[in-house]
Structure 1
Amino acid sequence: MELSLEHHTILVDEILHSIFFLGQISTPRHSPEDIMNHDQSLLDALRHYYPGPFSCYSTQLPKRSPFSCVLDMVVLVTGQQNENEIINRLQEFIDERLRGNQLASSTICVSQRNTAEESVRYYGVSMSTSGRNPGRIIVAASCLSNWDSYVADAVMTYYPSRTRKTYFDGTIRLPKRVRCQAISLRRGTLVAPCRSCANLFGLTTNAEQVWAYGHCAEAESVSNLLKIDEEVRVQVEQPSETCTPANRQRAKASVRTELRRCLGEVGFQWNNHFYNPQV
Structure 2
Amino acid sequence: MVNFVEANTRQVQIFAKSETQFFYKFLHFIATSVRERRLNGDRGRAYIKEMLHVILFYGQINLPIIKPEEILTENFQTFLQKYPDVFQECKTHLPTRPPYTVLLDAIVEIKGTRNAEDVLRCLLDLTDKMDVTNDEGKQCGNVLVSTVISCCNFNDVTTNYFGASVSCMGWKQRKAMINILCCKTWHKDISWAVCVGNTYNEKAFTFPAGVCSMAFNIYSSAKATEQKQRIERAKARLQRFQMIRSRNIANILEPFGTLVPREPCKYCFIMFPDICFDPSSHSHNAGKWEYGNCAECESLSQLLYSDENIVQRLKRETFTKTPEVLLNEKYNQLKEYLEKLNFNFGNRILYYNNQA
Instruction: Give the TM-score normalised by structure 2.
Output: 0.69
Separation in structure 2 between the aligned mates of residue 243 and residue 141 of structure 1, nearest angstrom: 24
Q: Give the counterpart letter for 1:217 in structure 2.
A: A
**Which residue in 1 is equivalent to 2:319?**
242
The one-letter amino acid of 1:122's match is Y
Residues 15-73 of structure 1 deviation map (CA, whole Å, 9 limit, x = unaligned): 11111111001122101111112x3xx22322333332211011111111111111111
Give the deviation of 1:123 after TM superposition: 0.9
Distance in 2 between the 1:45 and 1:180 partners?
43
Question: Is structure 2 residue 307 aligned with structure 1 residue 229?
Answer: yes
The amino acid of 1:191's aligned partner reads R
What is the distance in 2 between the residues matched to 1:249 and 1:101? 37
Query: Aligned partners of 1:24 and 1:2: how far apart in 2?
Result: 33
Q: Which has the higher helix share?
A: 2
Native 8 Å contact 1:66 1:103 kept in 2: yes
- Structure 2, unaligned stretches of length 5 or more? 1-36, 133-140, 220-257
Give per-residue Cα distances to partners, 1:71-114, cap 9 Å, x unaligned: 11111122233321221222222221135221111111111111
CA contact (8 A) 1:113 1:177 kept: yes
Name which of 340, 344, 350 aligns with 1:273: 350
Partner of 2:173: 134
Contact 1:156/1:170 (<8 A) preserved: no
Give the root-mean-square deviation of aligned CA atoms: 2.1
Count of residue correspondences: 265
- In the aligned structure 2, how far is the partner of 1:56 from the partner of 1:92? 31
Task: For 1:9 and 1:112, locate their aligned partners in 2 and report how far apart those are by CA, in whole Å.
Answer: 30
Greater CA radius of gyration, 1 or 2? 2
1:174 partner amino acid:
F
Among candidates 335, 340, 352, match of residue 260 of structure 1: 335
Deviation of residue 144 (structure 1)? 0.8
5+ residue gaps, structure 1, are none
Q: Does 1:200 align with 2:275?
A: no
> C-alpha separation between the residues in 1 aligned to 2:203 and 2:84?
39
TM-score after normalising by structure 1? 0.87
Q: 2:148 aligns with which of 107, 110, 113?
A: 107
Q: What residue is the counterpart of 2:226 in the other structure? A: none
Match of 1:191 among 250, 262, 272: 262
Pick the aligned partner of 1:215 from 269, 286, 293. Answer: 293
Distance in 1 separating the partners of 2:344 and 2:203: 30
Q: Is residue 2:161 matched to residue 1:122? A: yes
CA distance in 1, matches of 2:83, 2:306: 28
Partner Cα separation in structure 2 for residue 201 and residue 25 of structure 1: 32
Letter in 2 for 1:260: K
Mean alpha-carbon deviation: is it higher for 180-189 or for 199-208? 199-208
Instruction: Report the secondary structure of 2:123's partner residue.
Output: helix
| Alignment match of 2:51 (pick from 15, 23, 46) | 15
* Alignment check: 8 A CA contact 1:52 1:277 kept: no
2:61 is the counterpart of 1:25: yes
What is the CA-CA distance between 1:208 and the residue it aligns to? Answer: 4.1
Match of 1:178 in 2: 211
- Which of 116, 133, 146 aligns to 2:185? It is 146
User: Does the aligned pair in 2 maintain the 1:171–1:199 contact within 8 Å?
Assistant: no
The percentage of counterpart residues that share the same residue type is: 26
Supply the distance in 2 between the matched residues of 1:74 and 1:20 (Cα, whole angstroms).
21
Residue 243 (structure 1) shift? 6.8
Question: Does the 8 Å contact 1:108/1:182 carry over to 2?
Answer: yes
* Aligned-partner residue type, residue 302 of structure 2: N
- Alpha-carbon contact 2:197-2:203 (below 8 Å) kept: no
Distance 1:63 1:219 in 2: 15
Distance in 2 of aligned mates of 1:106 and 1:79: 24
Preserved contact between residue 105 and residue 126 of structure 1 (Cα < 8 Å): yes
In structure 2, what residue type is equivalent to 1:87?
Answer: L
Query: What SS does the corresponding residue of 2:206 show, helix, strand or coil?
Result: coil
Residues of 1 paired with 2:320 and 2:301: CA distance?
Answer: 18
| Cα offset, 1:3, TM superposition | 6.5
Corresponding residue number in structure 1 for 2:112 = 79
User: Does the Cα contact within 8 Å between 2:265 and 2:286 map onto a contact in 1?
Assistant: yes
Amino acid at match of 1:262: Y
Secondary structure in structure 2 of the residue aligned to 1:241: coil
Report the 3-state secondary structure (helix = DSSP H, G, I; strand = E; otherwise coil) of the residue aligned with 1:270.
coil
